[in-house]
Amino acid sequence: MKEEKKVTGDEYLFEIAVFLATSARGCMDEPPLYGPFRLIDGLSRLIDLPKYASCLSDDAFLKRMKAEIDEKKFLVMFDPEEFRKFLDELVHQFTRKLKERTLR
Amino acid sequence: MEVFEAIKNRRSVRKYKAEPIPDELIEKILEAGRWAPTGGNLQPWKFIIVKDPKILDMIRKVSPGYLGAAPFAIVVCSDRERAYKIGGKLGRDYLCIADCSMAVENMLLAAHALGLGACPVKSFSPVALKEILDIPAGIEPELIVIIGYPDKKPSRPPRFPLEGITYINKYGEKWLKEK
Residues of A in contact with B157 (CB under 8 A): 77-78
Q: What is the pLDDT of residue B153?
A: 82
Q: Is residue A76 part of a domain?
A: yes
CATH number at residue B141: 3.40.109.10
Taking an 8 Å cut-off on Cβ atoms, the answer to whether A34 and B61 are in contact is: no
Alpha-carbon gap, residue B119 to B123, rounded angstroms: 12
Domain-located, residue B170 = no
Indicate whether A13 belongs to any domain: yes
**Which residues in A48-57 are b (16+ Cβ under 10 Å) and which e?**
bebebeeeee
Mean pLDDT on A63-90: 94
Q: With 50 as the cut, is the pLDDT of residue B25 above it?
A: yes
Cβ of B125 and A78 within 8 Å?
no
For the CA atoms of B143, A71, A38, A8, the dihedral, rounded to the nearest 10 degrees, stands at -90
> Mutate which of A3, A7, A14, A18 to test chain B, going by most B C-beta atoms within 10 A?
A18
In B80-138, the DSSP E strands lie at 117-121
What mean pLDDT is predicted for residues B6-14? 94
Whether residue B62 and residue A30 make contact (CB cut-off 8 A), yes or no, is: no
Tell me how far apart the alpha carbons of residues B64 and B89 are, in angstroms, rounded to a whole number.
Answer: 30
- SS3 state at B1: coil
Distance from CA of A102 to the nearest CA of B (A): 34
Q: In total, how many domains does chain A have?
A: 1
Q: pLDDT tens across B80-94, in order?
A: 999 999 999 999 999
B29 is a domain residue? yes
Residue A2 falls within a domain, yes or no?
no
Distance from CA of A101 to the nearest CA of B (A): 32
Domain that holds residue A88: 9-103
Total domains, chain B: 1
Q: Write the ipTM.
A: 0.73
* CB < 8 Å & 24+ apart, contacts of B19-22: B19/B71, B19/B148, B19/B149, B20/B51, B20/B71, B20/B72, B21/B71, B21/B72, B21/B116, B21/B147, B21/B148, B21/B149
* The pLDDT of residue A1 is above 50: no
Domain annotation covers residue A49 = yes
Domain range spanning residue B127?
3-165
Cβ distance A36 to A7 under 8 Å? no
Contact between chains at B125 and A34 (C-beta distance less than 8 A): no
A64-68, B9-13, B82-86, B155-159: range with lowest mean pLDDT: B155-159
Considering the domain boundaries, does residue A61 fall inside one? Answer: yes
Q: Is residue B107 part of a domain?
A: yes
Q: What percent of chain A has pLDDT over 90?
A: 77
**Min Cα–Cα distance to chain A from B72, Å:** 17
> Any chain A CB within 8 A of the CB of B158?
yes
